[in-house]
């Protein structure tokens, strides 16, 4: 099974979703996850996820101001996100009303 489609890959799924909206750095991702979920993933959690996503060809690094690295989705990453979103909806479909919108 794909890494970002199983429960262990939930953070990978969140990272792909966030990066699909705009290019973000590891720090920005941590802050956004904290804002949305209430707890901030440590660098020891977020950067291995970014590394794995990059090694799988789902994201690529882009240079921003100075030494800041940002990440954006690749074509392969967009396809993976589509697959992961469908899988997520299949897993949680019976709870769709609790999410406030349809999958």
| Tens digit of each residue's pLDDT (9 = 90 or more) over 74-86 | 999 999 999 988 8
- The domain spans of the chain are 3-98
For the packed helices 43-55 and 10-21, what is the interaxial angle rounded to 10 degrees? 80
Say which DSSP state 24 is in.
B
Return the CA Rg of the chain: 14
| Tens digit of each residue's pLDDT (9 = 90 or more) over 44-74 | 889 999 999 999 999 999 987 778 899 999 9
Right CATH for 3-98 from 3.40.50.2300, 2.40.10.340, 1.10.10.10, 3.40.50.720? 1.10.10.10
């Amino acid at each position: 099974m794909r890494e970002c489609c199983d429960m262990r890959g939930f953070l990978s799924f969140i990272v792909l979703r966030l990066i699909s909206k705009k290019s973000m750095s590891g720090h920005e991702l941590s802050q956004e996850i904290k804002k949305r979920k209430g707890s901030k993933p440590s660098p020891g959690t977020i950067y291995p996820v970014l590394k794995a996503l990059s090694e799988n060809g789902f994201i690529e690094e882009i240079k921003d101001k100075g030494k800041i690295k940002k990440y954006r989705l690749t074509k392969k990453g967009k396809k993976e996100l589509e697959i992961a979103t469908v899988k997520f909806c299949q897993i949680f479909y019976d709870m769709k009303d609790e999410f406030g919108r349809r999958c």
